Structure 1
Amino acid sequence: MTNIDTLRTEQNTGSVGRGRWPVIGIVAGVTAVIATLVTDLHPADSPKTYTADIVDQVSSGKAQASIIAGYITVALLLVLAAAWRRHVEPRALTSTAARVVPLGLTAAAGALSLGYGWKGAMAIYNGGNEDGAFDKTGLYVLFVLNDFGSFIGYLGVSVAAGAVAWMALRERLISRWIGVVSVIVVLPVIVTVAAFGLPGFPGVVSGLWLVITFAGLTFGRSTINR
């Protein structure tokens, strides 16, 4: 067999050595933190009860920065899902959890397209190019949508984290410490939803989970990326 044939066989079977594809997940985590937490539209001195006047305190610049970073995150999540399917699934042929991960990432990308899109709308209509197109009541509707809009969409990432935890702790395809981190991330999501009906906690922890998990896959010794 020629070297070219060997390389093609390795590529088709997923038996190539350690890859750098998980770096995509690290970058996605960084942009997720920027898009969701750093550029959060809630004013620093938010009142206990919101009224339509709150829109006067919303920064259109932050909203625009958020949609830019957010849409980059969406694109990266889709690329990461594709890379996972190419590099991981051939090495985990009997693992259902391995197939759940890209599904969760793809679901998150779809939902976040809407979440960050609403931030873009706030940038346009509240001090942007189409300022004045909506009155305060209309802008307040957008503000309410943005309250959890870019947080809820990360539920798919939480599902992916749960699948990674299973792969690490049950199937031993990923380093166990990554599984522990994933459990620590998923449990508060379950608790806050069950106890309070709070839908946005996935957006608080998902960016950090992406950074830690995929840094671990990039530089660690997990079976799926040796």
Structure 2
Amino acid sequence: MAHTDPHASADARSASLRRARWPLTGLAAGITGAIATLVADLHVSDSADTATVLQVNRPAAHLGVVTGYLTVALLLVLAAQWRHRVEARVPASTAARTVSAGLIAAAGALMLGYGWKGALAIYLPGGSDSTLFDQSGLYVYYVLNDFGSFIGWTGVAVSAGAITWMALRERTIQRWIGLLSLLPVLAVTMTVLLTGLPGFAGLICPAWMIITFLGLTFGNSTITR
């Protein structure tokens, strides 16, 4: 009977736990991003007059900025983890560096997008600074929120494209994740080319992050071994 080194087995289990832990940051960013962008969406009607803004749900705006800023923080932490855990493993991969760059770009843009939700939360009736702007001023913030928390997710779509390349070309990520990652890339590209719609990434990228980083957590990729 072959001798099994208990210390080697313990080390292997410990390495497996370390491998599976860091992608959970991406899962968390997808969940909080879906809440901040979709659950706390501030669209209220098809009306285009200044009175529309008074229909906005102020607690939803407050929820949006809280979960939104948490999403920004998680994206930045994930970018740092990716650079430390992944780029060090595949130093010749430009695609790996593009992933972290896309996450950082998304965080910067979303900081503004979710911040505009916070502005409505404090300036709407019932907010801490509700007397500072009239309806016309509030309407400006309402219009900014039309795509504010959606456009920033374009950076994550770029990261999805880089992960597609890593999976299908470099074979450092599971193939099914690469195929899945084509969806946000194609969807965002086609909507921009055909309609000019700038915020479709906000509809699809949070779900993509949830599925992809679950797959990285429990799957077997070169970057997580």
Query: TM-score, normalised to structure 2's length?
Result: 0.91
- Give the CA deviation at 1:56: 1.4
Q: What amino acid is aligned across from residue 144 of structure 1 in structure 2?
A: V
1:31-56 alpha-carbon deviations (Å, 9 max, x no partner): 0000000000012xx12x41111111
Match of 2:201 in 1: 202
Residue 50 of structure 1 aligns to a residue in which SS? Answer: coil
Identity rate, percent: 58
Match of 2:4 in 1: none
- d(CA) in 1 for partners of 2:100, 2:61: 28
Q: What amino acid is aligned across from residue 132 of structure 1 in structure 2?
A: T
- d(CA) in 2 for partners of 1:188, 1:206: 10
Match of 1:65 in 2: 63
- Give the CA deviation at 1:23: 0.3
- Give the CA deviation at 1:167: 0.3
Q: What amino acid is aligned across from residue 104 of structure 2 in structure 1?
A: T
Q: How is 1:38-117 mapped onto 2 (pairs within 5 angstroms)?
A: 38-43=39-44, 46-47=45-46, 49-117=47-115
Q: What amino acid is aligned across from residue 29 of structure 1 in structure 2?
A: G
Q: What amino acid is aligned across from residue 26 of structure 2 in structure 1?
A: G
- Give the CA deviation at 1:19: 3.6
Match of 1:18 in 2: 19
- d(CA) in 2 for partners of 1:118, 1:109: 14
8 A Cα contact 2:20 2:218, kept in partner: no
Match of 1:10 in 2: none
- Give the CA deviation at 1:141: 0.5
- d(CA) in 2 for partners of 1:79, 1:40: 25
Q: What amino acid is aligned across from residue 23 of structure 1 in structure 2?
A: L
Which runs of 5 or more structure 1 residues have no equivalent in the other structure?
Answer: 8-13
Q: What amino acid is aligned across from residue 27 of structure 1 in structure 2?
A: A
Match of 1:32 in 2: 33
Query: TM-score, normalised to structure 1's length?
Result: 0.90
- d(CA) in 1 for partners of 2:132, 2:94: 49
Give runs of ≥4 in structure 1 deviating > 2 Å. 16-19
8 A Cα contact 2:32 2:71, kept in partner: yes
Residue 199 of structure 1 aligns to a residue in which SS? Answer: coil
How many matched pairs?
Answer: 212
8 A Cα contact 2:20 2:217, kept in partner: yes
8 A Cα contact 2:20 2:216, kept in partner: no
Q: What amino acid is aligned across from residue 142 of structure 1 in structure 2?
A: Y
